[in-house]
């Protein structure tokens, strides 16, 4: 029993867990990233109802701010209640109808999750191959279209499992549109951190998470669809399998009616509003440039320590730096040392790259020179 709990006491027979005192970590892993104090302050402001006129106004503001961050004019731009996977499932589960074919990538962990969600939505899944750690080649995507004629094509713009940024997005969307298919982009680790232009690049649907380059706690996750994609959703012959994520129902709450669908995570919407306000103050293009610059210093510092990046410079992802673990070094021991001695979080590899890489995030409020200097000094110590 902690001292504090002893003084406050708990009712007899009730669990005594003491007051919440989480450690004060520096978050440089694959997300969540450090949260800006202004976002934390927004989260401690009074709760209003999810249909309160003041909240309805806030919903409009969040939608407007999200459009700015996504670089889109899409009317259907909302925060989905839930984590990035909820926005991902809202995208895939609504776009993919039973009998549709979805083309997914094999070059990372999150392409695998797309496949799983498309299958559960009743879709037939076909794949375009690239090794983990490499982007998709447009020629392979074109060949996969010729072979399978998919209805929906999903790709991961910023693959958090490999540290690879998918280049040539407009080429990929052009191939899909030449085949009358819809494009879903996973922008969880790119929104607000690396260049992303939903409208200019002709992306039909993009989803994201708030806890990466927006530096906001998880809970309300960005999603945008153009009219063409939303028309497909509204014209479905069968209902989407998830009631909760059915966009034709959510439209009642986030569209013009503002009628009850579910109780929105109000505090998370406050947080997202403040996080997006910070993006608007900084300016989206300046924010992309800051990520490149600060992460560029991180990359140079890692290379000075003798470490090798997993992704070549051409498709290096500033927000997620995947670094090869040197021969003879225990990756988990280094991660544990950074947490124990420095209160500093980084992560190991996932899936095919487990044990081979460390994943060092440089996202949002964590993408600051001070964090980079701290991380490099701590890592040098851990490797000594």
For binding to ligand PLP (CB under 6 A), which residues are involved?
Answer: 30-31, 83-85, 88, 110, 156, 160, 186, 188-189, 209, 218
The distance of closest approach from Cβ of residue 10 to ligand PLP in the complex, given in angstroms and rounded to an integer, is 34
DSSP 8-state class, residue 261: S
Q: Which is nearer to ligand PLP, 216 or 264 (CB)?
A: 216
The distance of closest approach from Cβ of residue 42 to ligand PLP in the complex, given in angstroms and rounded to an integer, is 20
Sign of CA dihedral 304, 310, 314, 315: negative
The distance of closest approach from Cβ of residue 345 to ligand PLP in the complex, given in angstroms and rounded to an integer, is 14
Sign of CA dihedral 82, 88, 94, 99: negative
The distance of closest approach from Cβ of residue 186 to ligand PLP in the complex, given in angstroms and rounded to an integer, is 5
Q: Which is nearer to ligand PLP, 114 or 233 (CB)?
A: 114
Q: Which is nearer to ligand PLP, 84 or 364 (CB)?
A: 84
Structure tokens at 287: 């924010």
Q: Which is nearer to ligand PLP, 116 or 248 (CB)?
A: 116
The distance of closest approach from Cβ of residue 159 to ligand PLP in the complex, given in angstroms and rounded to an integer, is 6
Q: Which is nearer to ligand PLP, 83 or 101 (CB)?
A: 83
Q: Which is nearer to ligand PLP, 262 or 286 (CB)?
A: 262
Q: Which is nearer to ligand PLP, 150 or 154 (CB)?
A: 154
The distance of closest approach from Cβ of residue 211 to ligand PLP in the complex, given in angstroms and rounded to an integer, is 6
* Nearest CA among 135, 138, 143, 141 for reference residue 107: 135
Structure tokens at 99: 């009998």
Strands (E), the chain: 26-27, 76-82, 101-105, 124-128, 152-156, 158-159, 164-165, 182-186, 205-207, 219-225, 320-324, 344-345, 347-348, 357-361
Coil/strand/helix, residue 248: helix
Angle between helices 247-254 and 84-95 (to 10 degrees): 120
For residues 268, 271, 277, 279, the Cα torsion angle rounded to the nearest 10 degrees is -90
Output the residue with the shortest Cβ distance to ligand PLP: 84
Q: Which is nearer to ligand PLP, 31 or 123 (CB)?
A: 31
The distance of closest approach from Cβ of residue 183 to ligand PLP in the complex, given in angstroms and rounded to an integer, is 16
| Pairing status of strand 152-156 against strand 182-186 | parallel
- State the CB neighbour count (10 A cutoff) for residue 377: 13
The distance of closest approach from Cβ of residue 362 to ligand PLP in the complex, given in angstroms and rounded to an integer, is 14
Query: CA 249 → CA 74, 239, 252, distances in Å?
Result: 18, 10, 6
């Amino acid at each position: 029993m902690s001292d504090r709990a002893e003084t406050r006491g708990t009712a007899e027979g009730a669990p005594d867990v003491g007051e919440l005192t989480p450690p004060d970590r520096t978050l440089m892993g694959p997300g969540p990233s450090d949260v800006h104090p202004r976002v934390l302050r927004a989260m401690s402001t009074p709760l209003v109802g999810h249909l309160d006129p003041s909240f309805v106004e806030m919903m409009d503001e969040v939608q407007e701010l999200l459009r700015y961050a996504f670089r889109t004019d899409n009317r259907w731009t909302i925060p989905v209640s839930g984590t990035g996977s909820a926005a991902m499932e809202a995208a895939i589960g609504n776009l993919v109808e039973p009998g549709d074919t979805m083309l997914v990538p094999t070059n990372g962990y999150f392409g695998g999750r797309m496949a799983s969600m498309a299958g559960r939505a009743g879709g037939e899944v076909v794949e375009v191959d690239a090794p983990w750690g490499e982007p998709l080649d447009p020629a392979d995507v074109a060949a996969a279209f010729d072979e399978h004629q998919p209805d929906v094509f999903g790709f991961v713009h910023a693959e958090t499992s490999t540290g690879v940024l998918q280049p040539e997005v407009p080429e990929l969307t052009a191939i899909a549109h030449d085949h009358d298919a819809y494009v879903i982009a996973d922008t969880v680790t790119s929104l607000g951190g690396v260049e992303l232009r939903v409208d200019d690049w002709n992306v039909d649907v993009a989803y994201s998470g708030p806890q990466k380059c927006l530096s906001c706690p998880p809970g309300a996750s960005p999603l945008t669809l153009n009219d063409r994609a939303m028309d497909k959703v509204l014209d479905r012959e069968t209902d989407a399998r998830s009631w909760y994520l059915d966009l034709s129902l959510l439209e009642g709450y986030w569209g013009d009616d503002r009628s009850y669908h579910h109780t929105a995570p109000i505090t998370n919407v406050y947080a997202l509003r403040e996080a997006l306000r910070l993006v608007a103050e900084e300016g989206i293009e300046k924010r992309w440039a800051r990520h490149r610059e600060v992460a560029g210093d991180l990359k140079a510092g890692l290379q000075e320590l003798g470490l090798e990046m997993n992704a070549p410079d051409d498709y290096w992802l500033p927000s997620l730096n995947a670094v090869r673990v040197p021969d003879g070094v225990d990756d988990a021991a280094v991660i544990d040392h950074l947490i124990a001695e420095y209160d500093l979080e980084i992560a190991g590899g996932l899936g095919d790259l487990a044990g081979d890489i460390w994943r060092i995030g440089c996202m949002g409020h964590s993408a600051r020179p001070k964090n980079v200097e701290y991380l490099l000094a701590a890592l040098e110590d851990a490797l000594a």
